[in-house]
Amino acid sequence: MRSHDNVPADFIASATLSIDTQGEGFTEFTREARNFLAKAEAGSGILFAFVRHTSASLLIQENADPDVRTDLKTALRRLAPENAGWVHDTEGPDDMPAHVRTMLTGVSLQVPVIDGKLALGTWQGLYLAEHRARPHRREIVLQFLGSRRT
Amino acid sequence: MRSHDNVPADFIASATLSIDTQGEGFTEFTREARNFLAKAEAGSGILFAFVRHTSASLLIQENADPDVRTDLKTALRRLAPENAGWVHDTEGPDDMPAHVRTMLTGVSLQVPVIDGKLALGTWQGLYLAEHRARPHRREIVLQFLGSRRT
Amino acid sequence: MRSHDNVPADFIASATLSIDTQGEGFTEFTREARNFLAKAEAGSGILFAFVRHTSASLLIQENADPDVRTDLKTALRRLAPENAGWVHDTEGPDDMPAHVRTMLTGVSLQVPVIDGKLALGTWQGLYLAEHRARPHRREIVLQFLGSRRT
């Protein structure tokens, strides 16, 4: 186990990010998260992200080969298909699958921040997953908790 | 990106909430979380919730149409069915499916708190998901980390 | 609701833990997390864990009967099978299923810490889930945010 330096929990910075999705699929927001940390003058601590919806979710996945996202979309469609006898269908056939896909992937993320940088692995990117068929405007609350950049 | 005011990370408040479930299904605890924040005199920061079990989980889902929860239950039953040749069945046929459903949905939540209020979306509620067939008493640890209400 | 004492958010300790996996399966790291808290002189607060990969994940599950992990592995294989017509297969047939299983289980954990101890339930353990067929070295960032032990 390799220890990093202890830091004081100085402050919490918060911001709300709006993303317009193109309908079902993934939108990366790693760059926006980095901009948020830079603007907040973040040192070391933790980044939190939270999406304020029940038919869109957040996840960390490979940002190299776009085929991975294609397959992740296929996987979610198979796990939570349309026309599967859902009771709740007032908003259309894509509505209840969107809730199930959100349940399976979750609405929040946390990522360590070391010396102002996201401690992501080489292939990890932050994604908003839109589970509805049509475009939507989605709100993500970003928060940094930690030390001030020195 | 719309920034909110920075706040100091003043303190951490913690409490343990017990919920008696009625067997398989969802119990909302948004109100209890709000009461906890009020009592803790929470300003801005983050609410954390953690359920201390391996056959019950926490999730954030729509709290408007109860049909959504009916369908979520159906989805979890299909994804992790009983009588699927599980090796672990000493506690009954509902035991291993409960572990799988817990794995897929997770045992913790985090929600931003802005000016003493949960920054939930319009339709989001906090739920305890009971995955065992019979009623159980479940313990949830609630924590607030952030500033004191001013 | 039973309240615990408020504590100051004194500091954040961080460390990187490397685990060599044996290929597909679960490796418990509860003991390593406890050692980290002891070394950090943690009081009360929150433990965060984050795995820096897209084909391995973190989860909290039963650490008593090993049959549970056998069945969890079976469940993940059924939910995200090999040879399911994935587009992304440059790294072999186990690669895309590993991404899907990671998406379904998540790359981070948070656990309350009360008086220096993880507030886990009786049967809960922290696990690294390796989703690739072959052994890999995986990095987990551990962080404690809270008060200093008194």
Dump pLDDT digits (tens) for C64-79. 999 999 999 999 999 9
Q: B114: which residues sit within 8 A by CB, 6+ positions away?
A: A14, A141, B4, B44
Residue A81 is predicted with a pLDDT of: 97
Cβ distance B87 to C71 less than 8 Å, yes or no, reads yes
Q: Band of the pLDDT at A26, cuts 50, 70, 90?
A: very high
Residues 62-121 of B with CB under 8 A from A: 62, 65, 67-68, 70-72, 74-75, 78-79, 104-106, 109-112, 114, 119-121
Distance (Å, whole) CA B20 – CA B24: 12
For residue B31, CA distances in Å to B28, B34, B37, B53, B113 come to 8, 5, 10, 21, 14
Dump pLDDT digits (tens) for B24-79. 999 999 999 999 999 999 999 999 999 999 999 999 999 999 999 999 999 999 99
Q: Rounded mean pLDDT of B94-116?
A: 98
Residue B140 is predicted with a pLDDT of: 98
Percent of chain B topping pLDDT 70: 100
Distance (Å, whole) CA C65 – CA C69: 8
Whether B9 has its CB under 8 Å from any CB of chain C: the answer is yes
Residues of C in contact with B36 (CB under 8 A): 1
Residues of C in contact with A59 (CB under 8 A): 103, 106
Residue B4 is predicted with a pLDDT of: 93
pLDDT for B150 beyond 90 = no
Q: Band of the pLDDT at A102, cuts 50, 70, 90?
A: very high
Residue type, C46: I
Cβ distance B48 to C110 less than 8 Å, yes or no, reads yes
Dump pLDDT digits (tens) for B9-28. 999 999 999 999 999 999 99
Q: What's the ipTM?
A: 0.97
Specify the residue for token string 């990010």.
A17
CA A16 to chain centre: 13
Percent of chain C topping pLDDT 70: 100
pLDDT for B97 beyond 90 = yes
Residues 10-39 of A with CB under 8 A from C: none
Distance (Å, whole) CA B25 – CA C41: 40
Dump pLDDT digits (tens) for C11-67. 999 999 999 999 999 999 999 999 999 999 999 999 999 999 999 999 999 999 999
| CA torsion through residues B33, B36, B37, B38, sign | positive
The H or E element that residue B91 is part of is none
Token pair for A140: 């993500």
pLDDT for A90 beyond 90 = no
Cβ distance A9 to C9 less than 8 Å, yes or no, reads yes
Token pair for C30: 């509860």
- Please report, to the nearest 10 degrees, the dihedral formed by the alpha carbons of residues C33, C34, C39, C40 taken in order: 70
Q: C117: which residues sit within 8 A by CB, 6+ positions away?
A: C37
Sheet holding C56-62, edge to edge: C25-28, C124-130, C56-62
Q: Exposed (0-12), middle (13-18) or buried (19+): which is B134, by Cβ within 10 Å?
A: exposed
Token pair for B108: 């913790």
CB distance A105 to C104 below 8 Å: yes
Distance (Å, whole) CA C8 – CA B145: 9
